[in-house]
Structure 1
Amino acid sequence: MSRRPVPPFRLVASALAVGALLTTAACSDGGDGSASADTAAQARAAEQEAAKKAPTGSPTGSPTGSPSASPSALTESGARAALLTEADLEDDWNRVADAEKWRDSLLVGEVDVSDFLTAKAEAAECQRLLDRLYSQDLLGKPSGASALAGFEQGDSRLLEQVAAYDRAALDDALKWMDSLPVDCDQFTATDSAGEKRTVQVTEASVPDVGDAREGLHVTVRGTAADNPATLTLDIAAVRVGSSAVAVTGGGLDGREISSVEQGARQGTERLQTVLDGGTPSPQPTNLD
């Protein structure tokens, strides 16, 4: 059981008692140095006992010394507030309610190890890319609050995730993204029916926002409904502290790089506002 904090008035009373003890000792000591030393030792002991009973965080027992919650901690409500709105995006993007159910079958397949010089090591990284794009966890599983927003425009989609991560794991995820254009330049994946897909990964630009950022352009060429199809995805990830914004846009209609860049820019601003303890404006402030 924890000890109840001692009210400030009791600490003051203890201090007064110590002062009275010193005064009485000075009057009755009669010049005996040893008696004064004993009294001083008793006074110090009383002060130490009073200090032990003082609430932590404040040497005087004042509640003003209590620690407050970190303004940089992302909460579930904060993650939702940081999500993009239709007003943050140009063109005719419409927000949908079931973005967490989005899955693209062209991203499903087993990577062909024979495509790689170092075989299993590089193949595993490319397999991770396909799996994470499919599962919508590009930067790995969040360690804290997380929220998703999805938008549609014709046959194109734009997905945003705002989430809190373990800082070291988040930095590793961004380094992993940076390595993909080299390690996974081009490879083949085969689905359960034996259909082959050719995947290409290149670097993509990301607005100069946040604390760190990475961008990718991914194309997957295969078949959909027995017809040739190419899935095109532009990806931007931006770190702000130990939180991040990840925006993925594209589809069978081609590239959506301008919308992804806009989403990354606006999404980072909204996340920063939330982490600073504010509320994002319903109207974007830096649309070009």
Structure 2
Amino acid sequence: MSRRPSHPARLLASALAAGALLTTAACADGGESSGAASDTAAEEAARAAAQQAPTTSPSGSPTGSTSPSGSSSPAALTESGAKAALITEADVEDDWNQVSDADKWHDQLLAGKVDVAGFLDAKTDADDCQKLLDGLYSDGLLGKPSGASALTGFEQGDSRLMEQVAAYDHAQLDDSMKWLAALPQTCDEFTATDSSGGKRTVQVIETSVPDVGDARQGLEVTVQGTADGAPTTLTLDVAVVRVGDDAVTVTGGGPDGGASDSVQRGAQQGTARLKTVLAGGTPSPPSQFD
């Protein structure tokens, strides 16, 4: 709906209307050529008046040459933005309690050397599976971030939930997502050896991830071994979501089993928070450890 023309524009329109009446009278008394010339002048004046009188869009915003063209590009992820994008206790619900030392978590069941002899393609596949164990152990599943990065963690009994938000090199992130997608076939089941020579059986299966972000991959990794002299099974659910050149990585589980529901919710909420940050907004509520 257009805005009502301003007062000067209405005066000009009235003058043009009067001129048009005079022109009509002139046409009746003599020649068509002068009338055509007057009509042309009136049209040009009307166009000039229309250009000077701004209109409004249906949303109420002015339109015309002064309006911005196109939408702005997402902002680059900053350190403060990465921290703001991290999920909170409210995002994961249940009885998770946020901690401040998640960067120091390292599960010893993930520390082991992959047995190359157990692979048909030997070295290549073994390297991919070793990369998986090392990435889970060091919280660097997608490799080293190329830009901003932030991490948070939660505990619930013996289970842990961790999320990382980080910026990566575009080609590196491409390769990492392809690598993750191939792991259920490449590393379906393999054996790793700990520093004492103990054997661990590792299984990797594909899991679902909410349909968010530009790309996503879910895994469940199960490690059967020994801890403190007793048989132990560690189950970890993993969800990775890509948003442009940034990614949300959520890992959860422990000796009591995986944390599929919390990991999926964390991935969904974490992606929403990251998108809000990249669009220039501020997610809420803020993290307790910002």
Structure-2-length-normalised TM-score: 0.73
Percent identity (aligned): 71
Number of aligned residue pairs: 216
- Unmatched tracts of structure 2, length 5 or more: 1-71
What are the equivalent positions in structure 2 for 1:105-116 lying under 5 Å apart?
Answer: 105-116=108-119
The reply on whether 1:145 has 2:148 as its aligned counterpart is: yes
Which of 114, 117, 121 lines up with 1:118 in the alignment? 121
Report the equivalent of 2:190. Answer: 187
Residue 92 of structure 2 corresponds to residue 96 of structure 1:
no
1:1-288 to structure 2, matched below 5 A, reads: 71-282=74-285
* Map of 1:60 onto structure 2: none
Partner of 1:15: none
Which letter does structure 2 place at the counterpart of 1:103?
Answer: H
Q: CA deviation at 1:192?
A: 1.2
SS in structure 1 opposite 2:133? helix
1:151 deviates by 0.3
Q: Secondary structure at the match of 2:257?
A: coil
Q: Distance in 1 between matches of 2:73 and 2:200?
A: 46
Which has the higher Rg, Structure 1 or Structure 2? 2
Query: How far apart are the structure 2 equivalents of 1:245 and 1:167?
Result: 15
Alpha-carbon distance, 1:168 to partner: 1.1
Instruction: Indicate the SS of the match to 1:235.
Output: strand
Q: CA RMSD in A?
A: 1.4
After TM superposition, give the deviation of residue 167 of structure 1 in Å.
1.1
C-alpha distance in 2 between matches for 1:190 and 1:76: 38
Q: 1:70: how far off? A: 5.9
Q: Partners of 2:211 and 2:75 in 1: how far apart? A: 21
Q: Structure 1: which 5+ runs fail to align?
A: 1-68, 284-288
d(CA) in 1 for partners of 2:128 and 2:155? 29
Q: Report the TM-score, using the length of structure 1 for normalisation.
A: 0.73
Give distance in 1, aligned partners of 2:235 and 2:107.
11
